[in-house]
A and B are shown apart, each in its own frame.
Chain A
């Protein structure tokens, strides 16, 4: 192992030491090559999008909860989208739903989550100076930025942004005659997503090569924190699935602009027979969900990785079943590629496929259950410290379980017949994917804020934020199960046209009120976040008494992360409350860079033999340091 690391470190690009870089504002903060700055850029952009995405949800929740309300007061913001009668325009309603989904899934929970924490944490936790390619890393952010700008512009088109649902199924998404959002709005959506996919791929390649090549001396894969495992696996999933979305989008562009018939056939729309023939709308769905389902795990795995770290640290206990956690993540990653058609049980595809995909889908419950049990057992007989990050992590486990369990119902094709495209599905994925990932992201921000900005966030505000958000998320999404069981279809502008949807008007009102409350509670966070950057208490070096390498850097790590040589790793990242650690002069944790020779009292049987290898690792580290470019 060590020779591999040695080999790789020799070829590592010019690394830097404590030497200060005197770039200007533009190179330090805008076109920065530093992974920490890029991570923060992703975070800020993600937060901006979260506000827009959350705001959109409030607009359509107003419509759903208070269909009689006069919305004229929204005219200053929405202009022509509010009709003369003070109602929300029906097509804008669909556009709002579509953009809410697109923004939340891709811009907030993919770029905002993976982009932020993979960038920020990978080099810090594996003991690297920076990413494998700083330039590609910068490119990744700026592609995302261009993508964001284009998507943002589409919000202001006269014909509105894309409005055919975030899954953009053709023919609806291909025919401007069918819905105005499929005109320029859809074009910009597709262009924006092409940039987004490019950004994800460039980022992903970078994460993967960094994890493989730039681990510090001693940091074998079996000593990687679970966060890194999660980011690594996520990047691989993205690398394999995003190109398929690209292909799907490209063929859609051809159908829309060049008259091909990949997805279109036998269509008579707006009084006119189209010349497209021989295409299949189902083909698009297969391609889309080949990304779309792994995407769920692209969103979720980083959140689970962050949570593993936070729960272990704040339980003052090793994560339970480290290997089982990695194994289940690998299992989930593999299975995520072969379950996509469970989104299509009633799409008209061959029912035999339905049987196969039901079987594969329900298998995924097993590794997911293992993860949940491992989290709970990590807390068992722990010594729990409730930092805001810990609260959000426990919240994540709860949401992951509640939302995951209803997946067992929806994954069963016979039951999906009734529930497909009802609010039951909305409840399910907002809990397991939306809220759970969001909670993981929040846990990450609270936990690593001190490392990002050198200051502490206010804990009390964090507590209030957590309880408001946690209770709020359940108040919004739990009642949707009832609405779904009653058969309410999703993406309905109003429920007045059907007898079977006359009930639950009060519950819909309740959900909307809860949504307004929950989104407002996020302003508390925004305040705490921004205010603490400038006015927060200065952070100690290791505020959570954590074992991982990022806490061995200076309070505000400079370019290159560690002044002097890179730390050497001797042990796994979960030596919390190890028996004998006090006698060794440590409190209830032993950082990864403490050699076993320094902790004779706490070493386990198998670890004594590792002492002999320490000299070798130190020599390797010294050689790496010597070979670094110190200028």
Chain B
């Protein structure tokens, strides 16, 4: 997958419009930020991109694939949600191994070892995730999302609960994935953290896409302009 195209996407819940007329295209190697206040539709859009939600109107294309291609599309997507998609009763190693087997990966044990090393949790690999701090769980969850080397990485508030060192490590990990040719879409409120990391920002205000001028100072200033102009 080298291109993600979102064409006229809208999502309605009954009469409530969560998203309206979203259009954008992005290419491999980009890091796209979905920015906007609470309830703006960021998570809805991420779920649509993850194929977990069907748009009411419009379409999403993943290179030559569409959501109806099912497993072929999902194999290329890695998602880290606000909830971390981990089983607290299982150890870090068991969680990663479970998803490795579920994805049908080869040599799961080696992949899991490498992932645990990268997350800095090799020493706690056999501890139940329920006893981990939020930051540690977030690191395991990120490795779970990236275990199958996805080409499209979707992250919902990935910096929540992370200390400075973990935030820096996550930024470096995302830059590493960017260099590897992955396309990253992340929804966040941590504007100062992602300023300079994003190659593009997409402002969502009340479910509508707002134009990013790409000029006019810091990301925070552009965000404030977008919100004020809505």
Q: Do A and B bind each other?
A: no
